[in-house]
Structure 1
Amino acid sequence: MTTAIDNTGFQDKTYDSWSDYRVYAAAALAILYYVALWGIYRPYNIDDPWFLAYSYSLCHRQSELDLAFGNKFPNGMGGTIAFGKFAAYAQCAFFDRFGWTRTSLEVLSKLVSFAGLGLLSLFLARIGVGRRMVLCYGIAFIVLESFFGMASQAKYECFVFLLMSGSLLLASLGRPFMAGFVAALAVEIQPMGIVVPVLAGTYLAVAADGWHHRRRALAALTAGTCLAVPVYLLLHPNILSAFNPVNRIDGTWLFHPGFLYSYFWETQYKRHLPELAVFAAAVALYIRRRDPGPGRLAFAFAAAATAASFLLKWPNYHYTVFWYWAALLLVFQVAGTSRRASFICLAAALYLLPQYGYVYARNRAQGLSEAHFASVRSAIHEIAGTQEPVPVFGDYTIWFAMPELFTVANRENFALAGESAVVACLDDPPVREPQALTCSDIRAAFDLVAVREIDLNSIRVKLFVPARPDRPEPDAGL
């Protein structure tokens, strides 16, 4: 047993040399997970082409609409007409340089997610969390699924997470005006970004010393958020027309309990319930002890994000990362010592070993590579008789083959099948999406001529061309 001095000046008498080995082991497992599951964590994740299609349409098709999937705002983002232009422009800048590929999306999402974690770590150090505790916390956070999933897909949450961390850091540095401005920019990326100014305001309300300083800080935060309003209107001049017609708004999501319910109770196998038990125990211990400092802040952050989940009611479990960071911080603050933190860090990494091992075993031979997409693109060019992009109506899994003029084969877009130059569909898709159309669905209503079949791993892509240019009436049953 040795004594260690943390960077906060706190003397941790429970520290022992084995703590470092536990942290090293957890870090090694984290690296293993990221390397082993690269590209196969969710190999057919529909959100990857969906959000990249938003960005591509904005930058290269000069459209704010969801041209690929046909979704309409406000029943979802429906493109970038109301939200997401900052994230879309960032993705365009990166993908135009490195290619619109699955590899590029993995790299960018991880870069942005880890940059957000870096800023968050600086914030934690500012509020008095010790260096060893921050290290253990960071390793545990990156292996848990709320962060791992965010860092492995093309959705815009990683950009909101980056701005959240930056806003909190600015608030801790005594820059509430800039913190408010950055927080408001997170709202532009997606509606759930509203949690960012709420968290920044929570920090100032809890951490500010005295009512006078608290009032001034919150006023500056509010002024900063207001400054972002004209920026939003400049980016989204058509926002009011986006809500028309209002009678088509689907309000069923208003009856959902929220993203926390979705994450803990609606995910497959209810695999996150053990985590919920740990968080509940941490809350109980905190209430009994009422620890000051970072523990108090962590509790306030978690409470604010919990309220946001139940008030906003949006059933998107990906949003849990904006709650999870605070709940996990509370767990580490209740632990109290770096020795206990090292145990929690290793336990979190080992806890994910069966789950990630199962994912690896199931998906190791799945997914499509750049070579697969290139072969589909080459076949489409050959069939169309041109090297220029042509309109393609196809399954979302092969969007990367020709993003320029791709329309996803789903029920929203059904009438567009006859207007395509090539139909690229699947009869046995790897993931059963309720709205997706198979080759049989499309051929039941359109006169198509089979041209070619391409085997890509376990996926067989069938290519068709319309038998005539005019589009027949779609079958009423579809």
Structure 2
Amino acid sequence: MTQSSSGGLRRFSRAEVVFVTAIVMLYVLLFDHFRTFQVDDPWFASFSYNYWNDGIVTDTLYKRHFPRGMGGVEAFGKLAACVQAPLMNALGWSLRGLAALSTCFVAASLALLADVCRRLRHSVHFTLCVIAVAGLTEPFVVVSQGTRFEFLALFLLIAALWCAVRGWVFSAALIACVSVEIEPAAIVVVLGVFTALLMMPGTRYARLRRLPWMALAAGLAVAVYFALHPHAVSTFYHADWSSVDASAGTHGFVFQYLFLYKRHWPEMIALITATVISVRTRQHLLKEWPAVAIAVTVVASVVLKWGNPRYFVLIMPFFALFVTGAFFTERRWKLIVLAVLAIMLPQYAYRYSISIRQAPALTSADQREIGWAIDRTARSEGLRIADASVLGNSNVWFAHPGHFVALDRRVLQTGRTVSGDVIVCFENKLDPTLREMGSELKCSELRGLPNPVERITVHGYPLQVIAATGKPITAPLPDWLLRRLKTRDALQ
């Protein structure tokens, strides 16, 4: 990787500060407009809310049991919940507020990544390219817009690398190992950081001396994990591992991210081209820790069959350093930054316009309006608002975070009924891409619904608020799902 020839450690330049700030402003501009009606937004927020406020470690929103959908914070995620929940309790639970928190951590991650480059003696222009490749491509943007726990895993990854380049072996290893508590996929953070620690410059003896510190850090991280999850062994032993579809991610999250989505093909082409360039002209790059960490992570993702493309963010710092190292020259740095801008900004402009025209997310004002309607309906039944249970579309979870169960086909499975004090359903499905075959349920698909107490319109979507204390609600299987089940049974 091309480095600055100056002997001393340079200061941050104005260009680096301005560029990081501009990227963060892009994240802010995309609030409510990058991914709309994302099921994980209320889902992960509910884990944090339930654990911090009520001590509930299981999933009460979609009623999934570990290991499906993490199943709450029973086995992973308490650290992220402890970061999200206190702030949201103080500021108010909203999707925008949680996205703002995620953006703050992504911004801090970008700043730390810039400092990693600086401490590796890279030039200002090299650092700008790394920040462009990491911060403007989709993995960082996705994390900045949502509530999933990758915001903390990403921050800890880069914080560990920052400690590693400063020679703080124990701190780097401890931070990396602790990140695994956030979500199991963060094991790739450990693999990447440990690879970096073992390959960073030093004599063979100096590298061997790092091993005891890394082992000590790993042992302490295990103690931290069991302090947070004292029943972890029992949780893992009794988990229904057969409920996890192992074939879904057979090729790993790197394959899922790079090859299955055409919008990610530029990153795939960049990685392949960087590898070819390294083989032909800069073979030393393939022996340095960014490239080796990528290889180790790819193997891990395939072996462990993790197919969620969101996890690609946990490889992105290594990706940015390696790809930039392959393409960079002082004459070419502007072309690299312009290429990233030309590829990514039109995508974000398109998504922004689409979200405004076709599927705008519910705003905080919308959620408050729905919350007031729920409160009025609960009072009409003589219920205390705090104790009222709500069965509703998960997109309105922020209107009433406590005692909320998702009105979703995965909850109302065959032969199962669910009841609530208040039912909140939309007359039409919200997600335009899943209106026919998605799990989201509209009012007309439900059986056992009383007449609505209120009909309101939020963001152009007709919504019914129904008093249904103790009444069982069920949903029949749609024709498309019946056909799919019959086809599966015939094949078996």
Moved >6 Å (runs of 4+): 23-29
1:158 counterpart residue number? 151
Indicate which of 440, 456, 459 corresponds to 1:457: 459
- Aligned equivalents of 2:199 and 2:227: distance in 1? 34
Aligned pair partner of 2:35 in 31, 37, 42: 42
Q: Which amino acid aligns with 1:379?
A: A
- Work out whether 1:441 is the aligned partner of 2:445: yes
After TM superposition, the score normalised by the length of structure 2 is 0.86
Shift of the 464–50 alpha-carbon distance from structure 1 to 2, 3 Å rule, reads: same
**Which residue is 1:427 aligned to?**
427
Q: Distance in 1 between matches of 2:105 and 2:24?
A: 17
Helix, strand or coil: the match of 2:464?
A: strand
Q: Where do residues 38-437 of structure 1 align in structure 2 (5 Å cutoff)?
A: 38-243=31-236, 245-247=238-240, 249-254=242-247, 256-267=250-261, 270-290=262-282, 292=284, 296-365=288-357, 366-385=360-379, 388-389=385-386, 390-414=388-412, 418-431=418-431, 432=434, 434-437=438-441
Identify if the C-alpha distance between structure 1 residues 408 and 344 changes in structure 2 by more than 3 Å, giving closer, same or farther.
Answer: same
CA distance in 2 between partners of 1:135 and 1:248 (Å):
44
Q: What secondary structure, in the 3-state scheme, does the structure 1 residue paired with 2:145 have?
A: coil
8 Å Cα contact 1:140-1:346 kept in structure 2: no
Q: Partners of 1:245 and 1:449 in 2: how far apart? A: 42
Q: Which moved more, 1:91-100 or 1:78-87?
A: 91-100
Deviation (angstroms), 1:293: 7.1
Deviation at 1:198, TM superposition (A): 0.9
Shift of residue 115, structure 1, vs aligned partner: 0.9
- Mapped contact 1:180–1:224 kept (Cα < 8 A): yes
Structure-1 residue corresponding to 2:10: none
2:153–2:182 Cα contact (<8 Å) kept: yes
Displacement of 1:25: 11
CA distance in 1, matches of 2:144, 2:471: 44
TM-superposition CA deviations, 1:391-438 (whole Å, max 9, x none): 110011111110012111123433886531111012322223733332
Write the deviation string for residues 372-397 of structure 1: whole angstroms up to 9, x where unpaired.
11111111111111562311100111
Percent identical across equivalent pairs? 27
Moved more, 28-37 or 204-213: 28-37
Cα 1:339–1:381, aligned 2, differ >3 Å: closer, same or farther? same
Distance 1:336 1:414 in 2: 54
Cα distance 1:411–1:241, how it changes in 2: closer, same or farther (>3 A)? farther
Partner deviation per Cα, 1:147-198 (whole Å, 9 max, x = no partner): 1111111111110111111111212222211211111110000001111121
Deviations 1:56-98 (A, max 9, x none): 0101121000111211111231100000111100001221121
| SS class of match (1:423) | strand
Deviation digits for residues 124-146 of structure 1 (CA, Å, limit 9, x no counterpart): 22223223211232133211111
Q: Could you tell me which runs of 5 or more consecutive residues in structure 1 were left unpaired when the two chains were aligned.
A: 11-19
Q: SS at 2:141's partner residue?
A: helix
**Alignment CA distance shift 1:451-1:109 (3 Å):** same
SS of the residue corresponding to residue 402 of structure 2 reads helix
TM-score of the superposed pair, with normalisation by structure 1: 0.88
Query: What is the alpha-carbon root mean square deviation over aligned residues?
Result: 2.8
